[in-house]
Amino acid sequence: MEFDTYISGPMLTAVDLVNSYDAARDAELLTDAAALTELLRRHEWMLGELLDDRHLTRFRALRQQLRRVFDTQVTPDRVAALNAMLTKVSAAPQLTDHDGTWHWHYLPRGAALIDRATANCAAALLGVIVRDNGSSRLRTCAADGCANVFVDASRNGKRRFCDSRSCGNRVHAAAYRARNPGGQPS
């Protein structure tokens, strides 16, 4: 499943924002405004201002809302939560080509960064739900000790781990050791 840049950027922002709190270890990774700035710049957000503790507080609140969307397994509940987020920021989708590419804007120019992030992340996750005809691709890692979220963009929609190199390998290695307690290849 492929996503255009106007879905993938906010979608990946939502995933990284949720994962900025390590729920399995109860560890805050979004420790300060600099960490928030780096997260948003990595996803090419136009900041327009220096971020401070006020921004950090609001983005952490957005993170909790997005986490609930991933934690809920019922599509109508996910849709209702995401629609409520759009309503809260008074999103009014409009098609624009100001940069030579047709794409959606959800808020007028000059809208607050947190409102733009809320609208774009919610709309991107709704876009995933529409493309999948449901929300089964919004997932939480299946590895013990990991609570990271991800969007399964695999062709067959069967991805189980947030990262196959870490969580996936760890689970597969543990299963191998359980099958072969003496360490001999099977």
Q: What pLDDT is attached to residue 87? A: 97
Residue 119 one-letter amino acid: A
* CA separation for the pair 42, 57 (Å, rounded): 19
Q: What pLDDT is attached to residue 155? A: 86
5-140 maps to CATH 1.10.3300.10: yes
Residue 74 one-letter amino acid: V
Q: Profile the chain (186 residues) by mean pLDDT over runs of 10 residues.
A: 75 97 95 98 93 98 98 95 97 89 89 96 95 87 94 90 74 59 64
Radius of gyration of the chain (CA): 18
* CA separation for the pair 12, 1 (Å, rounded): 14
Q: What pLDDT is attached to residue 180? A: 74
> Which residues, 6+ apart, have CB-to-CB distance to 181 below 8 Å?
none
Render the chain in DSSP notation, one character per residue.
Answer: ----HHHHHHHHHHHHHHTTEETTTTEE---SHHHHHHHHHHTT----S---HHHHHHHHHHHHHHHHHHH---HHHHHHHHHHHHHHTT---EEE-TTSS-EEE-S-TT--HHHHHHHHHHHHHHHHHHHHTSSTTEEE--STT---EEE---SSS----S-IIIIIHHHHHHHHHHH-TT----
Structure tokens at 41: 């710049």
Q: What pLDDT is attached to residue 174? A: 54
